[in-house]
Amino acid sequence: MSWSSSGGPGRIAGDGAVVARAPAKINVHLAVGPLRPDGFHELRTVYLAVSLFDTVTVRPGNGLALSVTGEGTTGTGPDAVPTDHRNLVWRAAELLAQRAGVALDATITIDKSIPAAAGLAGGSADAAAALVALDALWGTHATRGELAALAAQLGSDVPFSLHGGIALGSGRGEQLSPVLARRRWDWVLGIAGEGLSTPSVYAELDRLRDDGRVPDGGVLASPEPVIAALRSGPVSALAAALANDLQPPAVSLRPALRRALRAATDAGAPAAIVSGSGPTVAALADDEDGAVRLAAELAGMGVYRTVRAVHGPVPGARLVG
């Protein structure tokens, strides 16, 4: 790949900062196939980008420096956010600089609202926002397709964080086809105090399958019912179509999730599922007012560390300002 970096910097504010943000996601359908030889599982998933955003600010610098503020700065388990090469943003910067042939010079701040290790693709959102912001800072002028190719190398969910909206994901999740839906969907996210590691949830699924405790994944459930429901509703159709093969292993590793899921439907949510590999509970709401009421009710129950009323679809990683 040879990109022109001769155009100089892109959209840069007075102090040299470039800001981008990217959304969290919910998987409204997540069918997981058997373990592949490459260590990933074949997926059929329907991603929905929702209105909880991380912001990435990049400034000119000498070498690479990374800092994190907001959610995830106090975690000590899988939800601790590293500030070195283990952070996907660091790897995104290295990959873009290498492909574009520019020096790896940037001072990067990640301001997190999306909790880490929550099943909301927070790390992927950060990487997608970093690609967009650094492309502007460095003037690398990558096309959206070129950024998508880099995103796919960084992680299974990063292409969707770049894309946003609603998309059908296949392969390990990185191959996307857009899904168009005009209506808005309201949700409440019930966020747990402690994260879950994605690889351990997939490994638990493999164990449950080996023991014959859940179906083997040889036949992937069709995403069509959920896609049809997303397009035209009603809420009851989407409620009935929600499905996540990672829910049983997430509940197996974190039994408290059973109660967290029940709390949402007890509070009046038409349906609730574990988001991705969890442990966030995504509770569907009837509409915007319903989500506000549901959020208030769930906040009062004390089952979650925090709750957030969100809606989707929303756009993927974009420059801000």
What's the CA gap between 260 and 241, in Å, rounded? 20
Q: Which is nearer to ligand C5P, 63 or 219 (CB)?
A: 219
Q: Which is nearer to ligand C5P, 112 or 172 (CB)?
A: 172
Residues that bind ligand C5P (CB under 6 A): 39-41, 43, 155-157, 172-173, 198-199, 202
**Are 53 and 21 a contacting pair, CB within 8 Å?**
yes
Active site residue 79: no
**Are 315 and 164 a contacting pair, CB within 8 Å?**
yes
**Does 283 show up as a binding residue in the annotation?**
no
What's the CA gap between 211 and 204, in Å, rounded? 11
Q: Which is nearer to ligand C5P, 218 or 321 (CB)?
A: 218
**Residue 160 C-beta: closest distance to ligand C5P, Å:** 11
Q: Which is nearer to ligand C5P, 220 or 292 (CB)?
A: 220
**Does 119 show up as a binding residue in the annotation?**
yes
Active site residue 157: yes
**Residue 172 C-beta: closest distance to ligand C5P, Å:** 3
**Does 125 show up as a binding residue in the annotation?**
yes
Written as one string, the DSSP assignment of 153-177 is HH-TTHHHHHHBSEEEEETTTTEEE
**Does 123 show up as a binding residue in the annotation?**
yes
Q: Which is nearer to ligand C5P, 99 or 172 (CB)?
A: 172
Tokens at 166, concatenated? 């609603």
**Does 24 show up as a binding residue in the annotation?**
no
Rounding to the nearest 10 degrees, give the CA dihedral for residues 220, 224, 226, 230: 150
Q: How far apart are the first and last CA of the chain?
A: 29
**Residue 41 C-beta: closest distance to ligand C5P, Å:** 4
**Residue 110 C-beta: closest distance to ligand C5P, Å:** 17
**Does 124 show up as a binding residue in the annotation?**
yes
Rounding to the nearest 10 degrees, give the CA dihedral for residues 193, 275, 34, 150: -100
The alpha helices in 139-281, defined as continuous H runs, are: 144-154, 158-163, 198-210, 224-232, 235-241, 247-253, 256-266
Please identify which of the residues 126, 157, 186, 245 carries the catalytic annotation.
157
**Residue 274 C-beta: closest distance to ligand C5P, Å:** 15
Give the chain's radius of gyration (CA, Å). Answer: 19
CA atoms within 13 Å, Cβ hemisphere of 255: 0
Query: Known catalytic residues?
Result: 25, 157
Instruction: List binding-site positions for ATP.
Output: 115-125
Instruction: List binding-site positions.
Output: 115-125
